[in-house]
Structure 1
Amino acid sequence: MGKSKILIVGGTGYMGKRLVKASLAQGHETYVMQRPETEIGVDIDKVETLISFKKQGAHLVPASFEDHKSLVEAVKLVDNVICAVSGVHIRSHSILLQLKLVEAIKEAGNVKRYIPSEFGMDAAKMKNAMEPGKVAFDDKMVVRKAIEEAGIPFTYVSANCIAAYWLGGLCQFGKILPPRDHVIIHGDGNLKGIYVNEDDIATYAIKTIEDPRTLNKTIYISPPKNILSQREVVQKWEKLIGKELHKITLSKDDFLASKNVLDYGQQVGLSHYHDILYEGFLTSLKIGDEEEASKLYPEVKYTTVDEYLKQYV
């Protein structure tokens, strides 16, 4: 397969910068949308990130969600488009901005594949998700509907649990660094999650972009060694630091009682932890080998939970 031209929208963000890196690493001619200062504010970090992309060989493309013509012109430069605008409410939530990008892709008429901003749990399987967290999935389904009604070729990438948000805090809600004395166990701690390194998510996503096997499908990143319960994650950390943590069990009722003192963004996050750690939404996820990224691309050496946790020792 020849290497295509890829436009990455949201390239300076958490997942976006990893997608740019992976696209370049896999030899694609990579274009990154550069939004005007009026949209990003005086954000020096984003400017520096864009300049670093340029030094690595990426092309910067000035365009704005508020300027339809500029979006169409940007899209016409490439074969494929990947969007990585934020869908995390504690940071910013811009999922529905993609509706403007979908309109531009539809008008341009040249895009062979669009990967929308998902990279988490499969929105189509989260119909029974807890409120207010369900809004994240509902918005993604609005975007999917627009993509499919426009007849745009797509791949949806479901990466389940992003490692930094989950493994860093040993699956404790609101924690991003692993403790060395005690840990809160959600429920019985035995329901399994699926944890994926952010760089691996980007690598797999770029792999799918011109693979005919992934056209108009949802692809799941579910590395077999990374399907673990919270207790299993804690045990791996204990082995690394040579110490057993004191464990405090938190019931579902007590967990939900904490919701009332949280702001909206935190309530959304709490809902996701509830769905995975108390309801086991990912435990029941059934997919075939033809849908699973590590089976489709065995040449990729994915990061195991053990390897990921070592950076915190």
Structure 2
Amino acid sequence: MKKSKVLVVGGTGYIGKRIVKASLDQGYPTYVLQRSELGLQDIEKLQMLLSFKKHGAHLVRASFSDHQSLVDAVKMVDVVICTMSGVHFRSHNLLLQLKLVKAIKEAGNIKRFLPSEFGMDPARMGDALEPGRETFEEKMMVRKAIEEANIPFTYISANCFAGYFVGNLSQPGTLVPPMDKVVIFGDGNVKVVYMDEDDIATYTMKTIDDPRTLNKTLYISPSENILSQIELVQIWEKLIGKDLEKYNISSKSYLSALEGMDHAMKAGSGHLYHIFYEGCLTNFEIGKDGEEASRLYPEVVYTRMDAYLKRYL
């Protein structure tokens, strides 16, 4: 089967650069959006784009302030993958994605669109704490626009990025594992899904020509990466040969601490509450509108978290 031509929007970002690499590695004709507005402050982005080009990607100049340039870019490909950061999704990235949806609708040739999600499934987060709920609401606004425009889609729910949640044993405020003491959310036994970011990209690219994932959500939740925080800590303790001193934070204490945080910190910490206290990544069954990645693609050798943590020794 002839492989689809793929346009990656946001290809220099944290997940985007991995999507570009996975696309090239899997043999897809890969196009990367190069924004016309690149300035002196974007030197590292430009160098990354040129590196993509060196490895076989095609750079496509376009601007979100020039609708026709987006339409022209979209017409060059079969699949569009948007990987713009959703960390501070509010307003700006929402508007950009809605512009992209409009361009895809007008182009009329796209066989699959993957919007910028890659985290928790926003369709399951309608009761999330404020202000963190804003992120999910805006992602649902993008989904609504996609579906109203009758654009074929796949949504990617990739759960917890290992770089942010595994290397630090899920400790706020750091990216490296503790060597003496560790904070445990609740009793630490709630199940969480941890994923290597490169594996997320690999699974994502597997979906784009797969009819089984058309108009569905792909949940990247391989069984061996479904671990509690305590299990994750125990892996690290075994690797370093010592037990860490553990401090448990009750649900009540955690919620109380949220009140003194600024807007951005409160939003992110609210997401952590749903993950580590409510188990929002694992407390449901995948229905007919979803598929699980490792079941669809058993040939992918995904990174287990003991192997991931060894890099920090």
Range class of TM-score, shorter chain: over 0.9
Q: Give the secondary structure class of the aligned counterpart of 1:244.
A: coil
Relative to structure 1, the CA distance from residue 222 to residue 277 in structure 2 (aligned partners, 3 Å threshold; closer, same or farther) is same
CA contact (8 A) 1:86 1:95 kept: no
Q: Give the secondary structure class of the aligned counterpart of 1:258.
A: helix
Code of the aligned partner of 1:12: T
Work out the CA distance in 1 between the residues paired with 2:72 and 2:181: 54
Work out the CA distance in 1 between the residues paired with 2:145 and 2:36: 26
Work out the CA distance in 1 between the residues paired with 2:242 and 2:94: 42
Q: Give the secondary structure class of the aligned counterpart of 1:43.
A: helix
Residue in structure 1 matched with residue 283 of structure 2 by the alignment: 284
CA contact (8 A) 1:220 1:291 kept: yes
Work out the CA distance in 2 between the residues paired with 1:247 and 1:141: 38
Residue in structure 2 matched with residue 143 of structure 1 by the alignment: 142
Code of the aligned partner of 2:32: V
Code of the aligned partner of 2:177: P
In structure 1, stretches of 5+ residues that fail to align are none
Q: Give the secondary structure class of the aligned counterpart of 1:165.
A: helix
How far off its partner does 1:248 sit?
A: 0.6
Residue in structure 2 matched with residue 57 of structure 1 by the alignment: 56
Code of the aligned partner of 1:307: A
Residue in structure 1 matched with residue 86 of structure 2 by the alignment: 87
Work out the CA distance in 1 between the residues paired with 2:128 and 2:3: 38
CA contact (8 A) 1:89 1:266 kept: no
How far off its partner does 1:95 sit?
A: 3.7
How far off its partner does 1:236 sit?
A: 0.5
Q: Give the secondary structure class of the aligned counterpart of 2:301.
A: coil
Residue in structure 1 matched with residue 298 of structure 2 by the alignment: 298
Residue in structure 2 matched with residue 44 of structure 1 by the alignment: 43
Once the two structures are superposed, residues 130-152 of structure 1 have per-residue CA deviations (whole angstroms, 9 ceiling, x without a partner) of 11111111111000000000000
Residue in structure 1 matched with residue 33 of structure 2 by the alignment: 33
How far off its partner does 1:158 sit?
A: 0.5
Code of the aligned partner of 1:172: Q
Work out the CA distance in 1 between the residues paired with 2:202 and 2:90: 24
**After TM superposition, which residue ranges in structure 1, 4 or more long, deviate above 6 angstroms?**
90-93
Residue in structure 2 matched with residue 20 of structure 1 by the alignment: 20
How far off its partner does 1:254 sit?
A: 2.1
Work out the CA distance in 1 between the residues paired with 2:194 and 2:180: 23
Work out the CA distance in 1 between the residues paired with 2:284 and 2:164: 20
Code of the aligned partner of 2:298: P
**Bigger shift: 11-20 or 259-268?**
259-268
TM-score normalised according to structure 1 size = 0.96
How far off its partner does 1:307 sit?
A: 1.1
Relative to structure 1, the CA distance from residue 268 to residue 216 in structure 2 (aligned partners, 3 Å threshold; closer, same or farther) is same
In structure 2, stretches of 5+ residues that fail to align are none
Q: Does 1:226 align with 2:219?
A: no
Code of the aligned partner of 2:277: Y
Q: Does 1:108 align with 2:107?
A: yes
TM-score normalised according to structure 2 size = 0.96
Aligned length: 312
Work out the CA distance in 1 between the residues paired with 2:285 and 2:131: 25
Residue in structure 2 matched with residue 159 of structure 1 by the alignment: 158
Work out the CA distance in 2 between the residues paired with 1:225 and 1:134: 29
Code of the aligned partner of 1:128: D
Work out the CA distance in 1 between the residues paired with 2:278 and 2:298: 31
Residue in structure 1 matched with residue 234 of structure 2 by the alignment: 235
CA contact (8 A) 1:189 1:231 kept: yes
CA contact (8 A) 1:86 1:92 kept: no
Residue in structure 2 matched with residue 3 of structure 1 by the alignment: 3
**Bigger shift: 272-281 or 284-293?**
284-293
Work out the CA distance in 2 between the residues paired with 1:93 and 1:201: 25
Once the two structures are superposed, residues 68-126 of structure 1 have per-residue CA deviations (whole angstroms, 9 ceiling, x without a partner) of 00000000000110000010129996244210000000000000000000000111111
Work out the CA distance in 2 between the residues paired with 1:132 and 1:189: 25
Code of the aligned partner of 2:20: V
Residue in structure 1 matched with residue 71 of structure 2 by the alignment: 72
Q: Give the secondary structure class of the aligned counterpart of 1:169.
A: coil
How far off its partner does 1:256 sit?
A: 2.4
Residue in structure 1 matched with residue 188 of structure 2 by the alignment: 189
Relative to structure 1, the CA distance from residue 92 to residue 311 in structure 2 (aligned partners, 3 Å threshold; closer, same or farther) is farther
Residue in structure 2 matched with residue 250 of structure 1 by the alignment: 249
How far off its partner does 1:169 sit?
A: 1.4
State the identity as a percent. 63
